[in-house]
Structure 1
Amino acid sequence: MVSWSAAAGVVVVALGVVLTPGPNMVHLASRSIAQGRRAGLISLAGVTAGFVVYLVATSSGLSAAFAAVPAALDVVEVAGACYLLHLARGVLRPGDASPFTPRRLAPHSGRRLFLTGLTTNLLNPKIALMYAALLPQFVTAGAGPTWRQFLQLGAVQIVVAVTVNGAVVLGAAGISSWLQARPRALRVQRVVTGSVLAVFAVEMVATSAQR
């Protein structure tokens, strides 16, 4: 069983990643604004399926790799910290368009909405690196088999991501109108999210160096 501190760490990182504008948020927000909440929820189901695919692949593949080459975890930790810093830099960079900017989109069928959500998530580099380089940071010796810890930590990440993305789907139209009237709020969100990611990256490096 993973510790509460490990689960809390995953919650913080997962929130930082999911609140960083990326392919998933752009797809879900744009579909919800253009085609309605039902379309957004179907797309979210596809995105969630993508998370499950990553989780199964990670829990089986990386756990075996870390057991065979323990030093690989150190490499992953450094890569994870560098990736968080990269995300922080991208969030803090001004000028990027908001995911909630209204877009004209042709309506899609339910099947296409689901498959597009699934494909968008599977091809999302943020999520790939989340599972390959960030979740392993919270795997600890003595907390049970590595694959079981991956499943538990991944479940925490999925709950956080689905909750936030679900809120995006349900409130996309309202959020879009609110942000258009208050552009400064988007800048505040960028600063807060980017700062949290940067602080967590530094903490990861410091923790790894102390072991």
Structure 2
Amino acid sequence: MDLMTLALFVPAAFLLAITPGPDMLYVMTRSIAQGRSAGLVSVLGFAAGCYIHGLAAALGLSSLFAAAPLAYDILRLAGAVYLLWLAWSAIRSPSVFAGAEGTLPRAALFVVFRQAFIGNLLNPKVILFFVALFPQFVDPSKGSIILQALLLVTTLNIVGGIVNGGIAMAAGRFGRWMAARPGWQKVQRWLMATVFAGIAVRIALSGRD
């Protein structure tokens, strides 16, 4: 893969990263409710999900979604259902949304990582990126498609990590301010639930546009 291809891919990755969507809002709400550690772990979960997307695109699954709109719609609706489940969990599991930085056990951080990973796999914005745009930067004549995909996804994750990592740090500071005020604990849970439910409705009602 030549440097020109990477130079063209970086702006595309940056536009994906700064476009508001489920990933960005998930990082923001997690950081506010649970601290910057949870936000940064969310970023890692998204990065892991992007590697799955990249490998799937390299193996030709992106062509399947492009040729079979129903497959895309099924995943889109599955993502909406998953976000609704996260919203319900936010309300019913106060202990997971502790608020203060450093209070989350490793098990809770693993839950955050797992939810971010699954959410990324079902994120329509990310799916469309890998279906429509990502394959344009892979050239079979320039070597292994798998290696090219891994290099591009790593570049995407670096750019996305910088953007979402900055959001996690900023939102985490705001979360610490709220954690010092016990009355905000309930607000945090309902804020996260409302955001997740709102995104779910938007995804369910939207199509490829």
Q: Same fold (TM over 0.5)?
A: yes
Match for residue 60 of structure 2? 61
CA distance in 1, matches of 2:111, 2:61: 31
- 1:21-47 CA distance string (max 9 Å, x none): 100000001110121111112222222
Partner SS for 1:21: coil
Superposition deviation, residue 141 in structure 1? 5.7
Match for residue 7 of structure 1? 6
Match for residue 178 of structure 2? none
Partner SS for 1:116: helix
Match for residue 126 of structure 2? 127
Residue 31 of structure 1 contacts residue 40 of structure 1 at CA under 8 Å; is this kept in 2? yes
Match for residue 18 of structure 2? 19
1:170 aligns with 2:169: yes
1:33 aligns with 2:39: no
Q: Which consecutive residues of structure 1, in runs of 5 or more, have no partner in the other structure? A: 66-71, 77-102, 177-211
Partner SS for 2:40: helix
Q: How does 1:87-126 map to 2 (within 5 A)?
A: 106=94, 108=96, 109-126=108-125
Structure 2 counterpart of 1:13, which letter?
Answer: A
Match for residue 192 of structure 1? none
Structure 2 counterpart of 1:30, which letter?
Answer: T
Partner SS for 1:117: helix
Superposition deviation, residue 111 in structure 1? 2.5
Partner SS for 2:142: coil
TM normalised by structure 2 equals 0.58
**Percent of counterpart pairs with the same letter?**
35
Aligned residues: 140
Residue 34 of structure 2 contacts residue 172 of structure 2 at CA under 8 Å; is this kept in 1? no
- C-alpha change, 1:112 and 1:62, in structure 2 (3 Å) is closer
CA RMSD of aligned residues (A): 2.9
1:154 aligns with 2:132: no
Q: Which deviates more from structure 2 when the two are superposed, residues 26-35 or residues 145-154? A: 145-154
- C-alpha change, 1:52 and 1:146, in structure 2 (3 Å) is closer
CA distance in 2, matches of 1:61, 1:142: 16
CA distance in 1, matches of 2:145, 2:44: 27
Match for residue 190 of structure 1? none
Q: How does 1:72-83 map to 2 (within 5 A)?
A: none
